[in-house]
Chain A
Amino acid sequence: QVQLQQSGPGLVNPSQTLSLTCAISGGSVSSNNDAWNWIRQSPSRGLEWLGRTYYNSKWYSDYAASVKSRITISADTSKNQFSLQLNSVTPDDTAVYYCGRGWAIDYWGQGTLVTVSS
């Protein structure tokens, strides 16, 4: 049974970097062809897929066009976790952020409400 445990701050100042981590238990971040995703949800945007990373002989990452210039998703194999960094945030980035496993996402983190405000 895969479990995903999210961690990171719930409040970020405008123009700063949002950083969240998703720790994996019961699975491996470097498992061939498992995808590790970040999704966010807000009343204005609904569910929005932000991007993913996955390992298939080497590491790959894909991002949504709406955040592509500001986002990095990376894996830390030593800690069996993956992370989201979103730069230059604005109040429009306020949302519940989820991590998730899979192409169809079968395991989800618990969600983190991130508020962008000074």
Chain B
Amino acid sequence: DIQMTQSPSSLSASVGDRVTITCRASQGIGKSLAWYQQKPGKVPNLLIQAASTLQSGVPSRFSGSASATDFTLTISSLQPEDVATYYCQRYDDVPHTFGGGTKVEIK
């Protein structure tokens, strides 16, 4: 099965900082990559699909990009409400594996 490796597993940044989270697929998955945000005690929320397509209602400070098997989620200016754990997920084929998550905190 294709593995999805996220890095870092956690990060701490200041309000206004640019934050980058990476997800690497062990094999090619095209652009079939989703990013989710999960706040403590809440259900995951889809932020981005097709590697870079922002879901309706998601703030424009979130963006996604892809380069071969490397995918990036960027928060251009970190806000207090962005404290959460972020997950990537492949959906090109089964199994629709999730990454291990990146916990984002405010410094």
Query: Using a CB–CB distance below 8 Å, which chain A residues touch chain B?
Result: 37, 39, 46-49, 52, 62-65, 98, 102-106, 108-111
Q: Which of A46, A62, A63 contacts B98 (CB 8 A)?
A: A46
Q: Which residues of A contact B34 (CB under 8 A)?
A: 104-105
A48 to B1, CA, bound (A): 14
Q: Is the CB of A46 within 8 A of B100?
A: yes
Q: Which residues of B contact A64 (CB under 8 A)?
A: 94-95
Q: Which 10 A-B pairs have the closest CB atoms?
A: A104-B49, A104-B34, A47-B98, A62-B94, A49-B96, A103-B91, A108-B43, A64-B95, A106-B46, A46-B100
A interface footprint on B1-25 (CB within 8 Å = 1, 0 otherwise): 1000000000000000000000000
Task: Find the residue from A46, A48, A98 having the highest chain B CB count within 10 A.
Answer: A46
A95 to B91, CA, bound (A): 22
* Interface secondary structure of B, over-half rule: loop
Number of interface residues of B (CB under 8 A): 21
Query: Using a CB–CB distance below 8 Å, which chain B residues touch chain A?
Result: 1, 32, 34, 36, 43-46, 49-50, 55, 87, 89, 91, 94-98, 100-101
Q: Is the CB of B94 within 8 A of A46?
A: no
A106 to B56, CA, bound (A): 11
